Amino acid sequence: MAATAAKADTTQTIPTPTRPGVGGTDPGPGNAELTRQNPDLYAPPATDHGTLPNLRFSFSDAHMRLEPGGWTRQVTVRELGVSKNIAGVNMRLNAGAVRELHWHKAAEWSYMLYGSARITAIDAEGRNFVDDVGVGDLWYFPAGIPHSIQGLGPDGCEFLLVFDDGEFDEDNTFLITDWFKHTPAEVLGKNFGAPATLFGHTPDPSERYIFPAPMPGPLASDKIPGATPVPQSFSHRMLAQEPIKTKSGTVRITDSSNFPVSTTIAAALVEIEPGGMRELHWHPNADEWQYYIEGKARMGVFAAAGQARTFDFQAGDVGYVPFAMGHYVENIGDTPVRFLEMFKSSYYADLSLDQWMALTPPELVNAHLGLDPQVMNALRKQKSPIVPA
């Protein structure tokens, strides 16, 4: 009887696709858990209208590639069709495990979600880079720069990778073992000045994509004697930045102005307290690709021509806002919302609806909207990226 009662209670929490005067019950088959997670799709606000494309996809719905040293999954234009400029990869490396030496045609930006890792690279002038990164740290490797990632103790790491090409495919990278495997032994011998018989025994690339390896020593032990360091660091401590603070949250912005090497990806880490909201705004320079780290949020997107749509998000979800579309992100849970905004751009930029109205002659604004004097008097000349409940 207890089990039956529990089931009945759970069923009562499922929203119904109704609003006053419209909609109806949904007695047919359905996925109750997904319905609970996406109430604004199931019973959209009355302000939603039109046929905007899907702007949400969850990493939980992405294919998981399992490897001896961890796993990886990706959200690209194949999973989220509107995302033509940016793709994302979520990767886990066990302690000691290595994402093998490789490079990409796209630039790689990363945010550390869990644990710690050691990253290595060189640039085209043969300058060297080695660093350890932890939660909240970033790295950026320009297109074509060879690099590696290794999980450290005690429990490896998990991170988000962002690439400046929506068509990117994590399974189609330039791997060092793959190149060795497909180069004749005599050519390798000639290149490295060693007998050809010493080559031809490289492990299959499928065994080295993400593979276990001995745990490295202290960072200093991996510094190459006599190597010249890169002039611009490939890593950045995002959480160490002084945030923009409001009553209901914080914003940290990282772009080429404070992370100079990151010339194709700009980002903001946004934290919203319960009841708070990322204000009504838009971005004048690029599409926005989002990754939700914690909390529950909803986003309303205005696409002009009477089109608007609302989406719900939780940890592990990806959101997308096409170029110049107005939007807000509201914390609808009882814990903080934390998410990343990413842009294919060298700089971060946004425009505030509130600030625009405050810096426009009030008679002109009122001629458009006929607002109450209380609203007009409350307009802010300075941006407040997170507004309170």
- Supply the residues annotated as catalytic: 341
Q: Coil, strand or helix: which one is 3?
A: helix
33 annotated ligand-binding residue: no
236 annotated ligand-binding residue: no
User: Given strand 288-294, what is the order of strands in its sheet?
Assistant: 56-58, 317-321, 288-294, 337-343, 266-272, 249-254, 244-246
Taking the alpha carbons at both ends of the chain, their separation in whole angstroms is: 41
Q: What is the DSSP letter of 213?
A: -
63 annotated ligand-binding residue: no
182 annotated ligand-binding residue: no
Does residue 148 contact residue 101 with C-beta atoms inside 8 Å? Answer: yes
108 annotated ligand-binding residue: yes
Q: How far apart are CA 370 and CA 266, in angstroms?
A: 37
Q: How far apart are CA 313 and CA 59, in angstroms?
A: 11
Place of tokens 């992405």: 62
Task: Identify the helix (H) or strand (E) that includes residue 59.
Answer: none
Q: How far apart are CA 38 and CA 27, in angstroms?
A: 18
Collect all residues with Cβ–Cβ distance below 8 Å to 389 and sequence separation of at least 6. Answer: 248, 274, 275, 276, 277
In this structure, what are the phi and psi dihedrals at residue 92, rounded to the nearest 5 degrees?
-125, 130
Q: How far apart are CA 253 and CA 244, in angstroms?
A: 9
288 annotated ligand-binding residue: yes
Q: Which residues are annotated as a binding site?
A: 102, 104, 108, 147, 281, 283, 288, 327
Q: Which residues are annotated as a binding site for Mn(2+)?
A: 102, 104, 108, 147, 281, 283, 288, 327
